[in-house]
Amino acid sequence: MSASDFNYEYFNVTFPQEYVAHVEINRPAKLNAFIEAMWLNLSKLITQLSTSPSVRAIVLTGAGPRAFTAGLDVQAASQSGILADSSSSELDPARHAFHNIQHIGEFQACISTLEKCPKPVIAVLHGISYGLAIDLSLACDIRLCAADAQFAVKEVDIGLAADIGTLTRLPKSVGSASWAKDVALTARVFGAEEALREGFVSGPVYPSKDAAVAAGLEKARLIATKSPVAVQGTKELLNYSRDHTTEEGLRYTAVWNSAMLQTNDIKDALMSGLKKTKPKFAKL
Amino acid sequence: MSASDFNYEYFNVTFPQEYVAHVEINRPAKLNAFIEAMWLNLSKLITQLSTSPSVRAIVLTGAGPRAFTAGLDVQAASQSGILADSSSSELDPARHAFHNIQHIGEFQACISTLEKCPKPVIAVLHGISYGLAIDLSLACDIRLCAADAQFAVKEVDIGLAADIGTLTRLPKSVGSASWAKDVALTARVFGAEEALREGFVSGPVYPSKDAAVAAGLEKARLIATKSPVAVQGTKELLNYSRDHTTEEGLRYTAVWNSAMLQTNDIKDALMSGLKKTKPKFAKL
Amino acid sequence: MSASDFNYEYFNVTFPQEYVAHVEINRPAKLNAFIEAMWLNLSKLITQLSTSPSVRAIVLTGAGPRAFTAGLDVQAASQSGILADSSSSELDPARHAFHNIQHIGEFQACISTLEKCPKPVIAVLHGISYGLAIDLSLACDIRLCAADAQFAVKEVDIGLAADIGTLTRLPKSVGSASWAKDVALTARVFGAEEALREGFVSGPVYPSKDAAVAAGLEKARLIATKSPVAVQGTKELLNYSRDHTTEEGLRYTAVWNSAMLQTNDIKDALMSGLKKTKPKFAKL
Amino acid sequence: MSASDFNYEYFNVTFPQEYVAHVEINRPAKLNAFIEAMWLNLSKLITQLSTSPSVRAIVLTGAGPRAFTAGLDVQAASQSGILADSSSSELDPARHAFHNIQHIGEFQACISTLEKCPKPVIAVLHGISYGLAIDLSLACDIRLCAADAQFAVKEVDIGLAADIGTLTRLPKSVGSASWAKDVALTARVFGAEEALREGFVSGPVYPSKDAAVAAGLEKARLIATKSPVAVQGTKELLNYSRDHTTEEGLRYTAVWNSAMLQTNDIKDALMSGLKKTKPKFAKL
Amino acid sequence: MSASDFNYEYFNVTFPQEYVAHVEINRPAKLNAFIEAMWLNLSKLITQLSTSPSVRAIVLTGAGPRAFTAGLDVQAASQSGILADSSSSELDPARHAFHNIQHIGEFQACISTLEKCPKPVIAVLHGISYGLAIDLSLACDIRLCAADAQFAVKEVDIGLAADIGTLTRLPKSVGSASWAKDVALTARVFGAEEALREGFVSGPVYPSKDAAVAAGLEKARLIATKSPVAVQGTKELLNYSRDHTTEEGLRYTAVWNSAMLQTNDIKDALMSGLKKTKPKFAKL
Amino acid sequence: MSASDFNYEYFNVTFPQEYVAHVEINRPAKLNAFIEAMWLNLSKLITQLSTSPSVRAIVLTGAGPRAFTAGLDVQAASQSGILADSSSSELDPARHAFHNIQHIGEFQACISTLEKCPKPVIAVLHGISYGLAIDLSLACDIRLCAADAQFAVKEVDIGLAADIGTLTRLPKSVGSASWAKDVALTARVFGAEEALREGFVSGPVYPSKDAAVAAGLEKARLIATKSPVAVQGTKELLNYSRDHTTEEGLRYTAVWNSAMLQTNDIKDALMSGLKKTKPKFAKL
């Protein structure tokens, strides 16, 4: 798998290190705002990376100095897309609703590709990170940010409740229910330090976008050196845990590991530990 | 809807700004301690506010300088109410238990009115905030506090496990399970800074009760300027998220928004955004 | 119940105060690393303490200055235990998997004894606290730590996804999903201050192991002075809350307290409150 | 409590035997079709019966020879109620949707009063039993029917998916998922024998309405002779079981009975069993 | 949409009536046994039908007189597919397990396309209906059968637990848990009358394959004359009900219908009812 | 494993065929009524059989011509056990409740041993089958019965709601909710034909106890000839299905079979199928 397998408008895909993919949202002239083609393409390329044995960790960033992404390209969406005025439509509201369910479902599924990807995905946020930036990064596993990051759950300001994942995942991703409601109901902007304090991102806050991206790539490299059986199992079980009781989580874990403990990676890892060598794990 | 529609002993209801209701617990001579009539009345008045199209956000505070509320009026409760000694009752323990289930259920339902209210409710806590203060504020959406606030999950000190909501909602409202158990098992008092650090309240800590109440009202005003379709949908979906899996949350969101995206508010909000004007949204 | 009832290799059990049990993991020469006999014994002794009316709170610590526990004794496990190389086994992978499910389930059940114990269990962590240290302490109710504590979710480094509880309980015990995934996917070491900031432990961070153990014992003593009906109900309802919706939590609470409000402890606690005396509660 | 406490248009309430209430839907000239006042009143009167210690079992029937109920009074509903044409309304579809959620929720809650009633409710169906007849009887505990009963899940024929309970409760009340979908998707009429074979009603099929009502009253009388602690606990636990896992059902049962086993009724029942006398149980 | 849009090896797709699609499994020489291309193609064609406004109901049958389907083509599967002997593979059992999860998940998703299709799907079974025949038909909404149908949950006889849906859906589709376990654990053949008595199929049992297919098409035609808003909502809500509590089902229903009650179909249906005409509903 | 390994008062354990265990409740003089030692012993012996590789299916019957079991030995229970009069106890009702929870939980766990046993358990019922007979047989996988069987959910007649499993498992085991409530609320006796019609037992009804036991043993023998990997997986997945959504069931199935498809049994079963020989499967 090489960069040339990935030819998407608005996305750069590179492989800076063995087993590490770097995906860059690339529409900087528009602050990386998303049009429909972009979320469809993001889903496609993450699916490609998901199934490649040459990839063990993914880093998601935004091109340009100003924004991870400003969110939905509202102008485009209001002209022909999901937010277009429908009052002159011939569809009755029920039929319109069926179309909306279909459309929202497809949009959500694109974003959820990041969560369903069996490999860890690290989002590195900087600059303007509004609306869809929150949805996207919450579907990733680890969130890092630069000091200049400015976040907002912006949707109420355009007359709608966020429906691509933020309202579902945010309360499960941070500790303070009061804070989650505060930022979602007021749409106020919050900065990197607040994001760290509330647990939306993992620390430390990096001084610049470059430093943050470098840290994200380094973390991905570190993860990619480990057993992919162990790493992918860990992501699976952590995601499962969020949505199940402790009793169910323990049972699922036992069943999952009933096969996974039969990997050669354990023997290899233990041996390397004794010999102080770096283990090499077979592709998955 | 005007203040004169609300004539409740122990509660002041005012409308300091358009679409904003201010509910004040008003029994300061007793540190705003609750007797049964009070939780029944609180539930009634919140229900009134819930269904009024003239209300878009609610602020809940305690009258007087000393307490949000000291909690249950234990003296009253032990004489004729829920904590009254029943050993001389003619009921056998099973029949007594049936009555307790009924009584606790009604009490819980009164407090849950705050959570079920479709509009955001902001609790502003100051001074003594014990027992029922925790139950009440956890059923609100956003918790703010003054620097003099003193909190305690006080129930174990009177021989019972808190049963009006704290033990159910606290672990879902803060990040640290260890801390939640610590304060609930020891009944120790904790202050404003600790409450902020643990995510029980949203920051900042305000220097005085007056400053905190002013901030609460200002936050309510801000929320009330936004589309009520968007705001009430946001509260609904955040509450739903807490108690469901991510998959279910996404589906429910899509179905919810299948109708809600058909609001005129989106068009109005987008237009106002372009024209830099303030949108006015129709009543809901 | 006295210390002489507890004669387990690798564990010291003492009763430093009325109603308080102190359990010390005692294999300091091996950094308190666990072999199979140890988790079986821990489960047995906690079960004994669970059913003794003379015990109302438990403190779990590690002997010696260097470690709470370094985790699984990997060398022992790889020779004859759960991580032993099975590639030469005559069992086919399915039969092997059945054995693994059984084995993991039993191991998990031992650790869960701490969670199912009706009395609060306080873990005091110091020094090296790797792998199983995280599993164990997450099954306790309150986690305290000394400044020298070093934590790591170590399992990916030996080629496996943690399966004795960490991946299930960690995301439910701290606020930041990003942080939980970070430490579980990278296996990096983190210190006491980070553990406190992320809510893994309750504060404050104690300057030394001795100070931390003293604080744990003092907290246990405080809890043990309270009504055991109230304390054990509080633990039960907090644990229930974690895994159920708010609606279900409230109902279960009402049913639970339908009997528990009929305790004499409430009368005794209220009376003591009025008389400023210390209540004495009957054994449970 | 006597019949004179119940003065509702369209409902007759009588007490044919000690502890047994008989509620008759009484609008025979319109085939007992429901207008809004009727479901509001039904809910009110069931609530009254729910809390009266003089009532231990309830029988619900329809007046007149022709129908249990023909369902919603469609003509009335289409003029001013829930099915009224809204295309000329000034509300946008989102605001309209908010009103619908509110309205449907209230309607559902009225019907659910039968399910939440702690005492067993026996529905006896005869003649035309369409639409709301299915919703209503599914919220009861036991369904009996006369040979002339004609059932239909009628809603698709008026352009809507049944939303007052049938689609939620029917699949949980009968065994065959294929049959449940068949009758709900085709709106076809089915008779008493088919209803019995599929488990929608309990047998036997009674030859006439009179015989069926007599059997319902006799079953109610039998239930009313038993311990109300045992009977109401049995209803509670069966309802709980439907919506929970086996593990949860067992736990809830243990907690429920922790108080209920302390009833004097057990001693009285055992004694009566030995003495071959009829026990008399105290009111609940 | 016409038959020419559907060009799949092993499937015939026809449109015998307006809004009705007939899908025929067409590999009669092999008793309609499935190879991988077939389940992939079935999923694709059902997806096409799902999104076509010209289709409102689907009938699924098997070509030829002998079998609906004999199930998985075991010979093909054991040569290169999911059941192929893997003991000589270079993959360790953990890596093999990852591949299996992926493969089983894709296979399951193909079958689930029938369940996720928003339109009703009627399976008509005849002759040999083994293994995958059960999985497939359980993902449909209504099951009809001919008198010559012979069913078996065949998987244990080839050494595996059925994993494409039968073990998950069968217990939720029939009433008797004892019977479901009996047929799944013994793999014994059962006939049409037993299938009807146990609720696996809806009655009546049709005398021949031709009669059964005709009845299936007639039922589809009937459903297709009704409002598609009502019909698709009914399928959605029945499916939702199976997997949720009553409380959740009612809420979801209210939210779903908040938009759907705004359809013109209700007005049209009511009007047609009064005028005794056949309503024509707009496409969805 | 041989009969001599099982030396329990009140239970006969024999091995009439390879891999088949026959457990007989043996207290015929008392109609096989249960005292505490019996449920403790039943649990122990089922646990022994659970872990023995020589056992693949279990049959549970009652000794003597008159009863499977008459249920709890009420006289014994009222003297010193769970139903003993506690009004003279020194424990307050809360402390009493704690003991009840503990006691009921242990009793339930004994019965659940049958459900948790990884091997299929077939209950063969005859004669008097009251109370605990229902609890016990519902925890088994398959229920068969003789024509003389008389069933009753007897508990309300002794003043309590059944708490050892019937109220939890019965509604999940039969199709008709109305029938389940009928028999549980009235405690009426029902016979073999009714039990079959309602799906409580699998057919056919056998003419005598001897015929029923022979059929149970033959079914066990048949199951025991099949791959134990397949059979035990089938039981596991059917039990899991009952308590989970379809989506979760499918996922769990895929993870479970990720290891189990790697069994040699599949190859052996396929080969035997081709060669028309009887496969022999390795022990599990």
For the record, the structure tokens of E241 come out as: 């009900």
**CB nearest B199 (choices: A161, A163, A175):** A175
> pLDDT at position D274, please?
84
pLDDT band at D86 (very low <50, low <70, confident <90, very high): low
Handedness of CA E171, E173, E176, E180 (dihedral sign): negative
Buried/exposed code over F112-140 (b: 16+ C-beta within 10 A; e: otherwise): bbbbebbbbbbbbbbbbbbbbbbbbbbbb
In this structure, is the dihedral angle defined by the CA atoms of residues D168, D174, D175 and D181, taken in order, positive or negative? negative
Mode of pairing for the β-strands spanning B121-125 and B57-62: parallel
DSSP secondary structure letter of residue F158: G
- The chain F residue lying nearest B92, using CA atoms, is F87
Instruction: Give the model confidence (pLDDT) of C144-200 as tens digits.
Output: 999 999 999 999 999 999 999 999 999 999 999 999 999 999 999 999 999 999 999
CA distance C152 to C150: 7
F contacts of D125 (beta carbons < 8 Å):
none
Pick among B256, B261, B262 to test the E interface (most E CBs inside 10 A):
B256
Question: Which residues are within 8 A (CB) of C146 and not within 5 positions of it... i.e. 6 or more apart?
Answer: C124, C125, C126, C127, C192, C205, C206, C207, C208, C209, C211, C212
Question: Quick one: pLDDT at residue C90?
Answer: 83
Is residue C87's pLDDT more than 90? no
The tokens describing D191, both together, are 């008779």
pLDDT at position B88 is 67
| Residue F7: both structure tokens together | 């030396």
Segment E116-136 shows an average pLDDT of: 98
The overall average pLDDT reported for chain C is: 95
Q: What is the pLDDT of residue A80?
A: 76
- Binding-face residues of D in 206-265 toward B, CB within 8 A: 229, 232, 259-265
Residues paired with A61 in a beta bridge: A24
F58: β partners: F21, F121
Distance CA E108, CA C166 (A): 30
Contacts of A111 by beta carbon, 8 Å cutoff, 6+ apart: A39, A43, A135, A136, A139, A164, A165
Cα distances (Å, whole numbers) of residue E9 to E42, E72, E112, E125, F114: 10, 17, 20, 21, 48
Q: Using H for helix, E for strand and C for coil, what is the string for D182-205? A: HHHHHCCCEEHHHHHHCCCCCCCC
D84–chain E nearest CA distance, Å: 8
Classified as helix, coil or strand, C125 is strand
User: Given a cut of 80, is residue E148 above it in pLDDT?
Assistant: yes
Query: How confident is the model at residue A189, as a pLDDT?
Result: 98
- Which of E78, E163, E178 comes nearest F201 by C-beta? E178
Q: Which string of DSSP letters, residue by residue, matches E51-76?
A: H-TT-SEEEEEESSSSEEE--B-HHH
Segment A161-218, tens digit of pLDDT = 999 999 999 999 999 999 999 999 999 999 999 999 999 999 899 999 999 999 999 9
pLDDT of res. B237: 98
Closest CA to E191 of E148, E142, E154, E157: E148
Mean pLDDT of E217-230: 98
Does the beta carbon of C87 lie under 8 angstroms from any beta carbon of chain F? no
Residue A103: is its pLDDT beyond 70?
yes
What CATH number matches the domain at B3-225, 3.90.226.10, 3.40.50.970, 3.40.920.10, 3.40.50.10610? 3.90.226.10
Residue E52, pLDDT score:
96
pLDDT digits (tens, 9 = 90+) for D3-26: 888 899 999 999 999 999 999 999
What's the CATH fold of domain D228-275? Lyase 2-enoyl-coa Hydratase; Chain  A, domain 2 (1.10.12)
User: Is E79 in the F-facing interface, judged by CB distances under 8 Å?
Assistant: no
**Neighbouring C-beta atoms of residue C127, cutoff 10 Å:** 22
Residues of D in Cβ contact (< 8 Å) with E241? 167-172
Q: What is the mean pLDDT of the segment spanning B255-263?
A: 97
Task: State residue F3's pLDDT score.
Answer: 82
Of B108, B170, B198, the CB nearest to C250: B108
pLDDT at position E86 is 66
**Could you tell me whether strands D150-152 and D142-145 are parallel, antiparallel, or unpaired per DSSP bridges?**
unpaired
Name the percent of chain C in helix, strand, coil, to the closest 5: 50, 15, 35
Q: What is the pLDDT of residue A137?
A: 98
Domains D3-225 and D228-275 share a fold: no
* Residue of C238, C254, C268 with shortest CB distance to B101: C254
Query: Are B8 and B45 in contact, with CB atoms under 8 Å apart?
Result: yes
Sign of CA dihedral B34, B36, B42, B45: negative
What token pair was written down for A230?
A: 């162990």
How does pLDDT run across D41-80, given as a tens digit for each residue? Answer: 999 999 999 999 999 999 999 999 999 999 999 888 888 7
Q: How many CB atoms lie within 10 A of CB C211?
A: 17
d(CA F133, CA F62): 10
Q: Is F158 on the interface with D (CB under 8 A)?
A: yes
**Mean pLDDT, rounded, of chain D:** 95
Higher pLDDT residue, B78 or F170?
F170
In this predicted structure, what is the pLDDT of residue D88? Answer: 67
pLDDT recorded at residue B85: 67
Whether the CB-CB separation of C32 and C64 falls below 8 Å is answered with yes
pLDDT band with cut points at 50, 70 and 90 for residue A90: confident
* Closest by CA position to A158, among listed A32, A73, A60: A73
| Residue of chain D whose Cα is closest to the Cα of F198 | D199
Q: Write the residue in C167, C176, C188 that is nearest to A253 by C-beta.
A: C167
Contacts of D58 (CB under 8 A, 6+ apart): D20, D21, D22, D23, D46, D49, D117, D119, D120, D121, D122, D220
**Residues A156/B226, Cβ–Cβ less than 8 Å:** yes
How far does the CA of residue D140 sit from the closest CA of chain C (Å)? 21
Q: Does D143 touch chain F (CB under 8 A)?
A: yes
Closest Cβ–Cβ partner in B92, B97, B262 for D92: B262
Does the distance separating the beta carbons of D222 and F161 come in below 8 Å? Answer: no
CB E266 to CB D155 under 8 A?
no
What CA–CA distance (Å, rounded) separates E256 from E236? Answer: 9
Spans of chain F, pLDDT less than 70 = 85-88
Contact D95 B282 (CB under 8 A): yes
Integer-rounded Cα Rg, in Å, for chain A is 20
Name the amino acid, one letter, at B178.
Answer: S
Judged by CB atoms closer than 8 Å, whether chains meet at B258 and A177 is answered as no
> Residue F16: is the preceding peptide bond cis (ω within 30°)?
no
The answer to whether the beta carbons of residues D63 and E246 sit under 8 Å apart is: no
Please name the residue that has the structure tokens 């352009």.
D159
**Nearest to D83, CA basis, from D160, D185, D186:** D160
Q: ipTM beyond 0.95?
A: yes
Residues E121-147 have a mean pLDDT of: 98
pLDDT of residue E85: 67
Sign of torsion, CA C228 C230 C231 C234? positive
Query: In the prediction, which pLDDT does F241 show?
Result: 96
Task: Return the domain boundaries, chain E.
Answer: 3-225, 228-275
- Residue range D264-282: average pLDDT? 92
Q: How far is C284 from chain F (nearest CA, A)?
A: 6
Q: Are C186 and A249 in contact (CB < 8 Å)?
A: no
Alpha helices in B52-89 (DSSP H): 74-80
pLDDT tier at B269 (50, 70, 90 boundaries)?
A: very high
Residue type, C263: T
Digit-coded pLDDT (tens) for D156-200: 999 999 999 999 999 999 999 999 999 999 999 999 999 999 999
Asked whether the beta carbons of residue F249 and residue E167 sit closer than 8 angstroms, the reply is: yes
Residue with tokens 């099929």: D205
Range list of β-strands (E), chain F:
11-17, 20-25, 57-62, 67-69, 121-125, 128-130, 142-145, 150-152, 190-191
Amino acid F282: pLDDT: 96
- Tell me the average pLDDT of chain A: 95
Say if the Cβ atoms of E229 and A263 lie within 8 Å. no
